[in-house]
Amino acid sequence: MNLWSGFLDLLFPPKCPFCRALLDRGDQMLCPRCQMTLPWLVGPSGKRTLREHGSCYSALSYEGLVVEAIHRYKFSGLRCYHRAFGPLMAQCAADQRITAVDGITWAPLSRARLRQRGYDQARLLAQDVGRELSLPVLSTLKKVRNVPPQSQRENEGERRRNVAGAYAPDRKTDVKGMRLLLVDDVVTSGATLEECIRQLKLSGAESVQCLTLARAGSGEKERKN
């Protein structure tokens, strides 16, 4: 710990992003209790097969303290949480033995939402995952249309239609022949990730696997973006 981070710790003592308990050391990502008790998805339970010939790996089940932490990260301006979440996702990628990846990318916010929030939460996670896994982080998609919030009444087909055409390729990056790992904060129906995969494959990506911090069950409703 250097002098500056020691000073910052005095001003803003580091807290566990999940339960907000004070952490003993600034280099801890979460408290020992959450490490023990959070709903971790391990082994096969952490993997879901998507329709667009891809797999989605998730570190945690989207429930309880995980929902609250992700809401604070996305909706209460606590962007610093990426410093804990990113390494947890990289750990998930290592535990799940995700291989054959040339670059990390993310499901981006629209420009309007980015202006409103000031940061793209999935991009911050992608940057951390890239750093931890020593892989390049690439901007490959743009969100060109905001999707209306998904309601509980909608079935899978409606969700899919809702998100169709919401993303376009970022022409600055050539993804031809690349094997990508697509990062997002939460996966619910998978419709968003599948639409991103579809676009990336249209742009010539060889394969796309997905990595999210959390996965919601079919019964839970995610607050979008």
Which parts of this chain interact with Zn ion (CB under 5 A)? 16, 18-19, 21, 31, 34
**Nearer of residues 34 and 147 to Zn ion, judged by Cβ:** 34
Query: Around Cβ 144, how many Cβ atoms within 10 Å?
Result: 12
Q: What is the DSSP letter of 5?
A: H
**Nearer of residues 37 and 116 to Zn ion, judged by Cβ:** 37
**Nearer of residues 87 and 169 to Zn ion, judged by Cβ:** 87
What does the radius of gyration of the chain's CA atoms come to, in whole angstroms?
17
Phi, psi of 185 (to 5 degrees): -80, -50
Kindly state the smallest distance separating residue 65's Cβ from Zn ion, in Å: 7
**Strand pairing report for 179-187 and 207-215:** parallel
Kindly state the smallest distance separating residue 201's Cβ from Zn ion, in Å: 39
Question: Which residues 6+ apart lie within 8 Å of 70 measured at CB?
Answer: 62, 185, 186, 213, 214
The amino acid sitting at 93 is: A
Pick from 18, 54, 87: nearest CA to 187: 54
**Nearer of residues 20 and 179 to Zn ion, judged by Cβ:** 20
Kindly state the smallest distance separating residue 20's Cβ from Zn ion, in Å: 7
**Nearer of residues 34 and 89 to Zn ion, judged by Cβ:** 34
Kindly state the smallest distance separating residue 17's Cβ from Zn ion, in Å: 8
The amino acid sitting at 78 is: L
**Nearer of residues 8 and 19 to Zn ion, judged by Cβ:** 19
Residue 80 · residue 125 · CB < 8 Å: no
Q: How far apart are CA 207 and CA 225, in angstroms?
A: 25
Kindly state the smallest distance separating residue 28's Cβ from Zn ion, in Å: 10
Kindly state the smallest distance separating residue 204's Cβ from Zn ion, in Å: 43
Beta-ladder partners of 183: 106, 211
